Amino acid sequence: MLKHSEQLELPIADPYFFLPRMVIDHLERIEKLSSRHPVNVLVTGKQGCGKSTLVRQFAAHYNRPMSTFQVGLLSEPGQLFGDERLRNGETFYQEFLFPKAITTPKCVIHLEEINRPEHPKALNELYSVLSEDRSIWIDELGLVKVAEGVVFFASLNEGAEFTGLDPLDAALQDRFYTIQMEYLPWEAEKQVLMLKAGVSEEQADNILRVVTALRENPQQSVAVSTRHSLMIAELMAVGAGLKESTIFSLQVSKDALESVLVSLHFELGDFSGSSDTYELF
Ligand SMILES: Nc1ncnc2c1ncn2[C@@H]1O[C@H](COP(=O)(O)OP(=O)(O)OP(=O)(O)O)[C@@H](O)[C@H]1O
Ligand SMILES: [Mg+2]
């Protein structure tokens, strides 16, 4: 039988994760605060802007075990704690990882998509562990108490905020510190592309010229996440040209992309790869 802490992951630090100084300082204060009482932090931001990585990095940096739960998948109350199972014709209660995680001292608990449970009542039991009493009675388990030093991170994709209609939403939100993640500024994103994907400085600058033009395109702004710019860089690192890397990474039409490239004075003739000739694969 594994001990609880052995089932929980000790994440490995991302050596190339950039955050604003202010956020790094804030995380240090969260670490200190958590020795007084458990703390809740809500991380908001667009898709692929580093929310999950921030949570992992916090756990790795402070050497904490970590566990992630998809709140968006919860379809009925009670689902986080355990359920009835059948073995050799007899039913027994199978305890899940969530009660183990919250009773593990210093555990980092990442609640993904907290705004989108499939069943609205599924948040009720979370509410108990996130609010001041920090404990919940589960018939099969008894009183489950949040351990010392636990930090809850909830993440939320921007644009999909709490509805505000359900009083539970407001009450939940009231109990969180908030970190708003933004996409990185040019120089930092350039470092990420060079360090993580291994592209040259010139390649990174070119990717960012295209990506920035797409993000700022007045006609039809394309949300290009850091994850996406990294995907483009990775394709280039294995030999693809800028145009094909972009086409295969983003859902952007060839025409829209070509007009962006032309407006940036890239020579289209330089781009390899043709979609006009068909060959056997
Ligand atoms: N600030 C950053 N520094 C370095 N890498 C970053 C940064 N932000 C994002 N990345 C990289 O971009 C990718 C996506 O990041 P991550 O999965 O953390 O985003 P997310 O906000 O959780 O996305 P989603 O909204 O899809 O859950 C990862 O490979 C991550 O390492
Ligand atoms: Mg994520």
Q: What pLDDT is attached to residue 277?
A: 80
**37 plus 148 within the same structural domain:** yes
The boundaries of the domain holding residue 203 are 186-266
In a domain, 242, yes or no: yes
In a domain, 20, yes or no: yes
Q: Which single residue is written with the structure tokens 């989108």?
A: 116
Of 149, 80, 144, 65, the C-alpha closest to 114 is 80
Distances from the Cα of 262 to the Cα of 186, 210, 215, 217, 272, angstroms: 21, 10, 16, 13, 15
Q: From ligand 2's centre to the CA of 152, what distance in Å?
A: 15
Residue 177 pLDDT more than 70?
yes
Ligand nearest to the CA of 50: 1
Q: From ligand 1's centre to the CA of 147, what distance in Å?
A: 29
Number of domains, the chain: 2
Positive or negative: CA dihedral 20, 63, 128, 158: positive
Segment 235-255, tens digit of pLDDT: 999 999 999 999 999 988 888
In a domain, 279, yes or no: no
What is the number of the ligand 1 atom nearest to the C-alpha of 112? 27
CB-defined site of ligand 1, < 6 Å: 14, 16-18, 45, 47-53, 157, 184, 192, 226-227, 230
- Determine the residue of 52, 58, 196 to mutate for testing ligand 1's pocket, defined as the one with the most ligand atoms within 8 A of the Cβ atom: 52
Q: From ligand 2's centre to the CA of 240, what distance in Å?
A: 27
Segment 130-165, tens digit of pLDDT: 988 899 999 999 999 999 999 999 998 876 556 655
Last residue of one domain, picked from the residues 162, 180, 198: 180
**29 plus 159 within the same structural domain:** yes
Last residue of one domain, picked from the residues 180, 209, 237: 180
Ligand nearest to the CA of 157: 1
Residue 71 pLDDT more than 90?
no
Q: Please give the backbone phi and psi of residue 136, each rounded to the nearest 5 degrees, phi first.
A: -150, 140
**196 plus 61 within the same structural domain:** no
* CATH code for position 49: 3.40.50.300
**20 plus 67 within the same structural domain:** yes
CA angle, residues 205, 207, 210, in degrees to nearest 5 = 110
Ligand nearest to the CA of 225: 1
How far is Cα 193 from Cα 164, in angstroms, rounded to an integer? Answer: 38
In a domain, 133, yes or no: yes
**Strongest mean pLDDT among 18-27, 39-48, 64-73, 270-279:** 18-27
What would the mean pLDDT of 5-26 be, rounded to a whole number? 91
Last residue of one domain, picked from the residues 155, 180, 205: 180
**169 plus 211 within the same structural domain:** no
In a domain, 272, yes or no: no
Q: Which single residue is written with the structure tokens 């995907």?
A: 231
What is the number of the ligand 1 atom nearest to the C-alpha of 181? 21
In a domain, 216, yes or no: yes
* Selected residue with higher pLDDT from 64 and 263: 64
In a domain, 281, yes or no: no
**8 plus 98 within the same structural domain:** yes
What percent of the chain clears pLDDT 90, i.e. is strictly above it?
63
How far is Cα 201 from Cα 214, in angstroms, rounded to an integer? Answer: 20
Distances from the Cα of 111 to the Cα of 6, 60, 95, angstroms: 20, 17, 18
In a domain, 277, yes or no: no
